[in-house]
Amino acid sequence: MKIGLDIMGGDYAPKANVLGAIAAHPLLSPDEQIVLIGDTKQIKPLLSENGFDPDLFEYVHTEEVIGMGEHPTKAIVQKPNSSISIGFNLLKEGKLDSFASAGNSGAMLVGAVFSVKTIPGIIRPCLSTFLPKLSGGVGLMVDVGANADCKPDILLQFGVLGSLYAENVMGIGNPKVALMNIGEEDEKGNMLSLATFPLMKDTNLFNFIGNVEGRDLFNDKADVIVCDGFTGNVMLKLAESFYVLTLKRGLKDEFFDRFNYENYGGSPVLGVNAPVVIGHGISSPTAVKNMILQSRDMITTGLVGKIQAAFNN
Amino acid sequence: MKIGLDIMGGDYAPKANVLGAIAAHPLLSPDEQIVLIGDTKQIKPLLSENGFDPDLFEYVHTEEVIGMGEHPTKAIVQKPNSSISIGFNLLKEGKLDSFASAGNSGAMLVGAVFSVKTIPGIIRPCLSTFLPKLSGGVGLMVDVGANADCKPDILLQFGVLGSLYAENVMGIGNPKVALMNIGEEDEKGNMLSLATFPLMKDTNLFNFIGNVEGRDLFNDKADVIVCDGFTGNVMLKLAESFYVLTLKRGLKDEFFDRFNYENYGGSPVLGVNAPVVIGHGISSPTAVKNMILQSRDMITTGLVGKIQAAFNN
């Protein structure tokens, strides 16, 4: 198994990525191999500084980098030797089993769709984020920004994708899937949610439990919350800002600590033909370590194959 | 001046409403008269229990009540003697200068539009909520649930309504108005925000400062944040749930205390021909007291006349 990691992506690259890989290594079995993609002239000194045997990783050398502010599609097209472009090429060729980066999110999304392609039958891939539950568990919210405008059949598919990730990678049996809405009652909503509700109610593709509201992210009503990418992105950033506010106010709390994105690795891209993980731009070594473990779990659970099977009916 | 208050609305009616009116009274000048609308047989004992002179209030007796779970339009039509229906009739007839209730929000919104009507030139009235700023100030978000689906010209008008409320009632000079979006850049967004951005950029009706994101609710980038009612409602409920989480976790903090809805009274309905305030269903005496003061401020600042003037060009 080859777990691809972009060493050049993210605000603290390459150091945070290299340190994350070092931290992940002892947690992997011998056949779970991390492949570092980036400038080996920058990587090797970081390894020796930390007394890490460089032979324990594999390397793909490249010096070109896609910046955080670059236009995603242009960057992917115009920088074929960037670490992100090369990572996706290797993933497409089967020389990697997964690819993760804390770099330009848009370029990662575009790269995934351009290279390994959307799974046949899926209209739009989506991005997901993790929700710490007050009771101790973890939930999932999809989409959080890949698709600003959605149609009902797209949201229905997000329900399938989220449910399969929750069941297979997060180990939640028969995940409770809910639709984000402005009321719990069946007839509440905007045009999108009103049109989506009956599709979800009638589906046997997942365990739909009805509408949830903005207040239900951190309780146990739902394991998977489905929304359009505009709503999800706004909620994700609001939730993140709350965590930052608790830190700014000097509030120390075990539950709010679980809002720290570092705990979850990155945001899995669901609906493409290979495991892809997009990390937060400010990914720390801990976040990168968890992205690697998350990539491994997406591979070992055969998530992509299960999604392909679900949509190949 | 006659400030109308529905005594029968809200989860803790009539007691919380009567206690709120008692608390507001000493803060009002002699010509600022509170009119209690509801069952005087329930009101009077509460006044005597608290040693309050009943002659200091005016009363409109009615026993009929619109329940929290009733269908708004049906309830308004079928219960003409309910406290909410009677309150709006008095408001329409000019016998009240404002009307506030912590009862059925939908019925309050429908009642406002049916009775005093939408201001000519305004497409859709909106609901707003207050945002405590980390720096100490307070901001405003519109719409938070009256209009689940919006068009660009509707959002543009929300900007005007929010700006006028912020400037006149909240005393914020030249309020900074922003569009809620999924990125700060001009070209980010969903179809709605992409189409709204140029309208706002070109307007001279308010001081547009560009896009903000979900993380910007509590900082000083914007005084007024405009969004569709679906997005606003989801964000409002998420923010409320965070405040509840800090309480559940036993976190005590001056900033998070300011999330307490009680501090702000209720949600002003903007865009109808009279001051209307909708309280939170769980309104406490403090919340009701603040709803009364807020109603008074909406009257004394001549907010409605200023909105009418702004749309009468």
pLDDT in tens, B18-48: 999 999 999 999 999 999 999 999 999 999 9
By CB atoms closer than 10 A (0-12, 13-18, 19+), residue B58 is middle
Instruction: Give the separation between CA A290 and CA A261, rounded to whole angstroms.
Output: 10
pLDDT of res. A264? 86
Q: What residues of chain B lie within 8 A of the CB of A189, using their CB?
A: 148, 230
* Residues on chain B touching A239 (C-beta within 8 angstroms): 214, 238, 242
- CA atoms of A6 and A86, how far apart (whole Å): 9
Do residues B118 and B124 touch, judged by C-beta distance below 8 A? yes
Q: Out of A234, A245, A248, whose CB is closest to B231?
A: A234
For residue A313, what pLDDT is reported? 66
Nearest CB neighbour to A218, from listed B149, B182, B245: B245
A–B interface: beta-carbon pairs under 8 A:
119
B-chain residues near A218 (CB < 8 A) = 241, 245
Q: Tokens 């229905």 sit at which residue?
A: A156
> What is the complex's ipTM, to 2 decimals?
0.94
In chain B, beta strands by DSSP E = 2-6, 33-38, 58-61, 98-101, 126-132, 138-142, 176-180, 207-212, 224-226, 267-270, 276-278
Using CA atoms, how far residue A253 sits from A121, A213, A265, B312, in Å, is 44, 25, 21, 53
Within 8 A of B229 by CB-CB distance, chain A residues are 182, 190
Minimum CA–CA partner of B150 in chain A: A190
A26 CB-contact burial (10 Å; exposed 0-12 / middle 13-18 / buried 19+): exposed
Same domain for B107 and B128: no
Q: What is the DSSP string of B134-194?
A: TTS-EEEEE-SSS-SS--HHHHHHHHHHHHHHHHHTS--SS-EEEEE-S-SSTT-S-HHHH
Give CA torsion, residues B15, B16, B18, B24, to 10 deg.
160
Of the residues B190, B226, B256, the best mutation for testing chain A's interface (the one with the most A CB atoms within 10 Å of its CB) is B190
Question: For residue B310, is it within any domain?
Answer: no
In B54-113, DSSP assigns E strands to: 58-61, 98-101
Does pLDDT of A228 surpass 90?
yes
User: What pLDDT, in 10s, does the model give residues B170-225?
Assistant: 999 999 999 999 998 888 899 999 999 999 999 999 999 999 999 999 999 999 99
Side chain identity at residue A187, one-letter code: E
Q: Which domain holds residue A153?
A: 123-261
The answer to whether A215 touches B240, Cβ cutoff 8 Å, is yes
Contact B182 A241 (CB under 8 A): no
Q: Say if B311 falls within a structural domain.
A: no
Please indicate whether residue B152 or residue A257 has the higher confidence score (pLDDT).
B152
A276 vs A294: CA distance, rounded Å? 10
- Co-location of A251 and A127 in the same domain: yes
Helix H or strand E segment including A168: helix A152-168
pLDDT of res. A254: 87
Looking at chain A, the number of H-run helices and the number of E-run strands are: 11, 11
Tokens encoding A239: 């939730």
pLDDT at position B313 is 66
Q: Note whether B255 contacts A245, CB cutoff 8 Å.
A: yes
* Domain shared by B259 and B280, yes or no: no
**B147 shares its domain with B83:** no
Query: Rounded distance, CA B302 to CA A75, Å?
Result: 54
Residue B313 placed within a domain: no
Phi-psi region of A42 (alpha: psi -120 to 50; beta: other; left: phi over 0): alpha
Which residues of chain B lie closer than 8 angstroms to A145, CB-CB?
182
Chain A residues with CB inside 8 Å of B185's CB?
none
Asked if A209 contacts A177 with a C-beta cutoff of 8 angstroms, the reply is: yes
Report CA-CA distances (Å) from B101 to B41, B85, B155: 19, 11, 26
Substitution target in A230, A251, A252, A280 with the highest count of B β-carbons within 10 Å is A230
DSSP A177-216: EEEE-S-SSTT-S-HHHHHHHHHHHH-SSSEEEEEE-GGG
Q: Which residues of chain B have pLDDT under 70?
A: 313
B84 occurs within a structural domain: yes
Q: Does residue A74 surpass a pLDDT of 70?
A: yes
> A27 is written with which tokens?
């947690």
**CB neighbours of B65 closer than 8 A, spacing ≥ 6?**
B8, B9, B38, B79, B82, B83, B103
- Specify whether the CB–CB gap between B87 and B274 falls below 8 A: no
Collect all residues of chain B within an 8 Å Cβ-Cβ radius of residue A186.
none
Please give the pLDDT value at position B256.
86
Query: B105 and B129: one domain?
Result: no
Report how far residue A242's alpha carbon sits from residue B215's, in angstroms, rounded to the nearest whole number.
8
Nearest CA in chain A to B212: A234
Helix (H) or strand (E) holding A226: strand A224-226
| SS3 state at B221 | coil
Q: Is residue A266 in a domain?
A: no
| Half-sphere exposure of residue A286: CA atoms within 13 angstroms, side-chain side | 5
Please list every residue in chain B whose beta carbon sits closer than 8 Å to the beta carbon of residue A245.
134, 218, 255-256
Q: Are residues B130 and B62 in the same domain?
A: no
Q: Which of B129, B180, B182 to mutate to test the interface with A (most CBs of A within 10 A)?
A: B182
| Same-domain check for residues A191 and A215 | yes
Indicate whether B104 and B87 sit together in one domain: yes
Distance from CA of A255 to the nearest CA of B (A): 8
| In a shared domain, residues A96 and A204 | no
Q: Is residue B48 part of a domain?
A: yes
Together in a domain, A223 and A282: no
Residue that the structure tokens 């409109």 belong to: B60
Q: What does the pLDDT read at residue B188?
A: 86
The predicted pLDDT at position A233 comes to 96
Cα distance between residue B160 and residue B141, in whole Å: 12
List the single residue in B182, B218, B230 with the smallest CB-CB distance to A182.
B230
Question: Which residues, 6+ apart, have CB-to-CB distance to B87 below 8 Å?
Answer: B4, B6, B37, B60, B96, B99, B101, B111
Strand stretches in A50-175, DSSP E: 58-61, 98-101, 126-132, 138-142
Question: Residue B166 falls within a domain, yes or no?
Answer: yes
Nearest C-alpha of chain B: how many angstroms from A222? 15
Q: Do A213 and B237 touch (CB under 8 A)?
A: yes
My answer on whether A200 and A145 are in the same domain is yes
Distance from CA of B200 to the nearest CA of A (A): 19
Q: Are B111 and B76 in contact (CB under 8 A)?
A: yes
Contacts of A80 (CB under 8 A, 6+ apart): A86
Which is nearest to B9 in space by CA: B21, B24, B26, B1?
B21
> Does a structural domain hold residue A279?
yes
- What burial letters (b/e) apply to B272-298, b meaning 16+ CB within 10 Å? bbbbbbbbbeebbbbbbbbbbbbbbbb
Query: Could you tell me which chain B residue has the CA closest to the CA of A133?
Result: B245
The reported pLDDT for the residue numbered B123 is 98
Check whether residue B293 and residue B205 sit in a common domain: no
Which residues on chain B are in Cβ contact (under 8 Å) with A246? 246, 251
Q: Nearest residue of B to residue A240 by CA position?
A: B215
Asked if the Cβ–Cβ distance from B234 to A239 is below 8 Å, we say no
Cβ–Cβ gap A190/B249 under 8 Å: no
Q: What percent of chain B has pLDDT over 90?
A: 88
What's the number of domains chain A is made of? 2
How far away is chain B from the Cα of A22, in angstroms, using its nearest Cα? 32
Distances (CA, A) of A184 to A209, B102, B176, B295: 10, 20, 34, 30
Taking any CB pair shorter than 8 Å as contact, residues of chain A touching chain B are: 134, 145, 148-149, 180, 182, 189-191, 193, 213-218, 227-231, 233-242, 244-246, 248-249, 251, 253, 255-256
Question: Which of B180, B245, B249 should we substitute to test contact with A (largest number of A Cβ atoms within 10 Å)?
Answer: B245
Question: Is-contact A15 A46, C-beta < 8 A?
Answer: yes
Position of tokens 């910007």?
Answer: B216
Of all residues in chain A, what percent carry a pLDDT higher than 70?
100
Tell me the Ramachandran region of residue A39: left when phi exceeds 0, alpha when psi lies from -120 to 50, beta otherwise: beta
Residues 6+ apart with CB under 8 A from A41: none
Place A186 in a pLDDT band, splitting at 50, 70 and 90.
confident
B145 and A180 within 8 Å at the Cβ level: the answer is no
Angle A179-A181-A186 from CA coordinates, rounded to 5°? 80
| CATH code of the domain in which B155 resides | 3.40.718.10
Q: What tokens does A167 get?
A: 């069941």
> Which pair of tokens denotes residue A75?
């960057």
B72 in helix, strand or coil? helix
Cα B82 to Cα B59: distance, rounded to the nearest angstrom: 14
pLDDT, averaged across chain A: 96
